[in-house]
Chains A and B, each alone.
Chain A
Amino acid sequence: MNPTASSAREEILARIRAASGDAPSTDARIINRDYLAAHVETDLVDLLAENLTDYRARVYRAAAPADVAVIVAGLLHGPRLVVPDGVPDAWIPAEATALRDQPALDPATLDLTHAVLTGCALAIAETGTIVLDGGPGQGRRALTLVPDHHICVVRCPEQVVASIPQALPLLDPTRPQTWIAGPSATSDIELDRVEGVHGPRLLDVILLAARS
């Protein structure tokens, strides 16, 4: 740190201390959280499906891992399918050309693929949101960004929580996170919603039921 930089830091901190001198010096710092931990308690998977659909994601249901492969095969617009480490083989249709991220695929290559197939860290029913954190079956962030079609599998019901307050304690802030609620969209032109600007224009979510 050079002297100027250091003095900027000290000066800003000094200004803050002078400015907030009248603040109560309490150690309690307790926030009154007079709001709900969740707005719904039951039928979370149905609610997730409804809210995802409301924001123009397409939702499918699979009863077993082999069904995932069948659904994925029907969704693909071409064979080149990006598959991060940790995606079960059972999800990958035989007709797809699986592209592994080993060695790392460069952005130009990713741009020429047809789709990416991932799992997720969890899904939030109330807001219709899936969360990716780079864990198994999710890959690094670029993999779900550059391809124009993202197919995401949610294990139900164990990966589905009701609300944002229920989701945050389950997530690790030291991991990079992408929260996704519907495909890329813009309302910048006369407030007409248009799906698909820079992120994947198609978002397909497969709700995979636990083996009963």
Chain B
Amino acid sequence: MTGVYVGMPAFPTAARAATRNAQLRANLTRATHTIRDRRARAVAELEDWEGLRQAGKAIKDETLAHLDDYLLQLEAKVTEAGGTVHWARDADEANRIVTELIRATGGSDDQPHEVVKVKSMATQEIGLNEHLAAEGISAYETDLAELIVQLGDDLPSHILVPAIHKNRTEIRDIFRERMGEWGRPAPEGLTDTPADLAEAARLHLREKFLRAKVAVSGANFMVAETGTLVVLESEGNGRMCLTLPETLISVVGIEKIVPTWRDLEVFLQLLPRSSTAERMNPYTTMWTGTHEGDGPKQFHLVLLDNGRTQTLADEVGRQALRCIRCSACLNVCPVYERAGGHAYGSAYPGPIGAILTPQLRGTASELDASLPYASSLCGACFEACPVAIDIPEVLLHLRERVGREAKEHGGHRLERAAMKAATYAMTHPAVYRAAENAAVRARKLIPKKVPFGAGKAWTETRDLPELPEQTFRQWWKETHR
């Protein structure tokens, strides 16, 4: 996993900067609480939610247990249906493949290469936009929030609502100042009402959709049995990208497979309700290879590893690959709510980011080593997860790993970064209260196995009714100087 977020400070530093930003915190608090409440209502409508959740978990575990079989099945079906399948070991390889495919579609000095893009976590993870820009190819993000982020030279802060950290006035200013540089300028006298801002985005992007020759997407699901790809969205920008251009290139992580067509019945119920708290999202597109007379004439599927197979090799950590990117865990996380998405330093913020990023990238950097500590272990993420990823279990597992590796390689540098993150999570009263109130305090996970000083101290403080901040710091000084 390579760097969109190069040079990001380790979690605690970034988190402290973010918590000082009152605007950001207000936006985040309102947003996460709103989605959280809506989601609870949407989930409560289904009396069989727990059954769906367990089936979702079981289907993903089956997928991971026989991933080679399913990938080969998928490859055969996509190819049979007129698509072309490519395999990418890492970000560089995926970026290179996509660049070559775009170049192969023609283009000239008069008509430079450009592509329209549907919001995709995988392409953020590999830094595709930055790579394409360096190659002289303009990539236009078409999801409204991604557009806001792109026009504002910003980074996404939430999986589902990437511009959650911007309010309407900030968005209006970005549109007024920047739209003209990218294409059709914002309308005169643009106000900051959401309807006006959405209309400005519609006008700005429509000319790009109508002339686009190439689109780049991700996918929410790939069905091995049929070779079908599935994209869920709300705005219709996805449909535009998946339908109008002549060439479609989809970059998808190898874990996004479900074995059978029938399996979609589970995930099409779990994902919208967990993600946007809707019974069904406004638009879902499904395609299988190419379709005569309908949609792109060329379809390329780039299957991305980029750390997924090394994650798969970890018996405890591999459950992170069940993730369907709904973002429910972000919205219930007291640490995310205070720190914001940017502090996690990757495309994947929040609790899932804290276990996925260090596994995809490894824990050699201070940032990645600190991520498993960016949690109060309150367990709300596990409760909210529609595929039952035991995030606290994986966090503890990774802390153990960071501790071991710190001893072997990184020494005190990594250990310090990790401890600062833990201190951050433990010393913010709201965060800690959430941890205290959590039902999972008595979990089997309370570690016997966190071996090094910092982790051990952490577990020792778990049983105290309140966390004495000063004492902890004093302890830290005494034992580490």
Residues in A lying within 8 Å of B, measured CB to CB: 5, 8-9, 11-13, 15-20, 22-24, 29, 31-36, 39, 51, 55, 104, 107-108, 111, 124, 126-129, 134, 140-142, 145-146, 164-165, 168-169, 173-192, 194, 196-200
Contact = CB atoms under 8 A, between A and B. Distances in A.
A165 B265 contact: yes
A30 to B, nearest CB: 9
Contact of B171 (A104, A140, A189): A189
Most buried by B among A13, A184, A188, A196: A188
B210 A111 contact: yes
A184 to B, nearest CB: 4
A80 to B, nearest CB: 17
Interface in B33-60: 34-35, 45-48, 51-52, 54-55, 58-59
Nearest to B313: A19
B32 to A, nearest CB: 10
Contacts of B21: none
What secondary structure prevails in chain B residues at the interface with A?
Answer: helix
B154 interface: no
A186 to B, nearest CB: 5
B165 to A, nearest CB: 11
B247 interface: no
Given A16-B312, A199-B282, A185 B293 contact: no
Contact of B235 (A20, A23, A186, A190): A186
A147 to B, nearest CB: 12
Contacts of A129: 280
Most buried by B among A176, A181, A196: A176
Given A145-B244, A173-B227, A183-B282, 14 more contacts: A16-B67, A32-B58, A35-B55, A108-B210, A127-B280, A168-B262, A175-B288, A176-B288, A176-B295, A179-B286, A184-B235, A184-B283, A189-B198, A197-B144
B161 A188 contact: yes
Contacts of B171: 189
Nearest to A111: B210
Contacts of A177: 284-287
B167 interface: yes
Contacts of A175: 288, 291
B282 A168 contact: no
18 contacts: A19-B312, A35-B51, A39-B46, A55-B282, A134-B291, A134-B294, A140-B295, A168-B262, A175-B291, A178-B239, A181-B278, A185-B282, A190-B31, A194-B198, A197-B237, A198-B209, A198-B236, A199-B283
A106 B87 CA distance: 34
B310 interface: yes
A198 B235 contact: yes
B357 interface: no
B309 interface: yes
B448 interface: no
Contacts of A188: 143-145, 148, 161-163
A183 B235 CA distance: 9
A200 B14 CA distance: 41
B138 interface: no
Contacts of A182: 282
Interface string B68-83: 1001100000000100
Interface in B254-270: 254, 259, 261-266, 268-269
A174 B81 contact: yes
A49 to B, nearest CB: 14
A198 B237 contact: yes
B390 interface: no
A164 B265 contact: yes
B201 A141 contact: no
* 9 closest cross-chain pairs (CB), A and B: A199-B236, A35-B51, A15-B309, A198-B236, A19-B313, A23-B65, A179-B284, A140-B294, A127-B280
B373 to A, nearest CB: 26
A55 B278 CA distance: 9
Interface string B270-302: 001000101111111111100101110000000
B181 to A, nearest CB: 21
B86 interface: yes
A33 B54 CA distance: 8
A125 B285 CA distance: 19
A174 B62 CA distance: 24
B278 A197 contact: no
Nearest to A54: B279
Contacts of A140: 293-295
B269 A164 contact: yes
Contacts of B259: 29
Contact of A35 (B52, B66, B168, B287): B52
A3 B295 CA distance: 31
A184 B234 contact: yes
B279 A5 contact: no
Nearest to B149: A188
Nearest to A108: B210
A32 B59 CA distance: 9
A16 B237 contact: no
